[in-house]
Amino acid sequence: MDILSSSEVALCIRQAQAGDAQALGRLLEQYRSYLRLLAGLRLDRRLAGKVDASDIVQETFLEAARDFGQFRGTQEVKLVAWLRRILAANLADLVRRYSGAQCRDVQLERRLLDDLNSSSQGLAGGLARRSSSPSHRAARREQAVLVADAMARLPQDYCQVLVLRHLEGLSFAQIAQRLDRTTDSVKNLWARALARLRRSFAGPES
């Protein structure tokens, strides 16, 4: 997947709002890794073995494509927030279906949306925070989206330890227990993963 520049994202939004289906598909694809990571974090553990986060993201894309005429924003930050709302509703609906509830749970949707917003802020903050030379593109695009893309390119164990430490807030000892490793090996794995991630944001000084 090609990572679009800020100006390309803005152009795709305008083209999609004008009815260009190809531009809309290209635009939504920019957020696949981001939404998949958020969905995986908030997917009820009881359902994780029954439903894949990628399926929820695909459903979110289908609804976003169907309802894109309702999106009135012109900036990426507004688009990302709109996609998170759709994702939260889909996650809540998934819980409702598997629990046998008949009615929509608006409070659950709000809690899930708050959780998704918090996770997104965590992606944009701590994980990429001390990079001394952020690339021009990363500075202009939504940071959380770019971090999620970078994490998707990491080895699985690197991505897992970063998620557990930074997004689930586990201690090194808790992560060691979860991964069946020693605490020292987890600390070393985390340091390597974080260094690899932050190198992906290194670039010329702007």
Report pLDDT digits (tens) over 182-198. Answer: 999 999 999 999 999 98
DSSP letter for 177, please. H
Q: Is the dihedral of CA 58, 14, 201, 173 positive or negative?
A: negative
116 in Cβ contact with 98 (< 8 Å): no
Same domain, 11 and 86: yes
Least confident of 27-36, 62-71, 104-113, 136-145: 136-145
Whether the CB-CB separation of 140 and 26 falls below 8 Å is answered with no
Residue 139 pLDDT greater than 70, yes or no: no
More confident residue, 2 or 19: 19
Is 162 found in the same domain as 117?
A: no
- Residue 23 maps to a domain: yes
Q: Read off the pLDDT of each residue in 59-84 and give the average, rounded to a whole number.
A: 95
Both 73 and 133 in one domain: the answer is: yes
Tell whether the model's pLDDT for residue 85 goes beyond 80.
yes
Structural domains of the chain, count: 2
What pLDDT does 50 receive? 75
Whether 26 and 84 share a structural domain: yes
pLDDT band for position 138 (cuts 50, 70, 90) = very low
**Arithmetic mean of pLDDT over the chain:** 87
Residues 72 and 167 reside in one and the same domain: no
Q: Do 31 and 126 belong together in one domain?
A: yes
Instruction: Tell me: do 76 and 166 sit in the same domain.
Output: no
Of the two residues 130 and 67, the one the predictor is more confident about is: 67
Q: Is there a single domain that holds both residue 126 and residue 173?
A: no
Q: Give the range of the structural domain holding residue 188, as residue numbers without chain letter.
A: 154-199
User: Do residue 37 and residue 94 come from a single domain?
Assistant: yes
Range with lowest mean pLDDT among 24-38, 79-93, 119-133, 171-185: 119-133
148 found inside a domain: no
Whole-number Å distance between alpha carbons of 135 and 139: 6
pLDDT above 50 (res 120): yes
CATH value at residue 191: 1.10.10.10
| Residue 109 sits in the same domain as residue 172 | no
Residue 98 has a pLDDT of 74
Spell out the alpha helix ranges (H) of 100-142: 106-124, 136-140
- 134 and 158 in a single domain? The answer is no
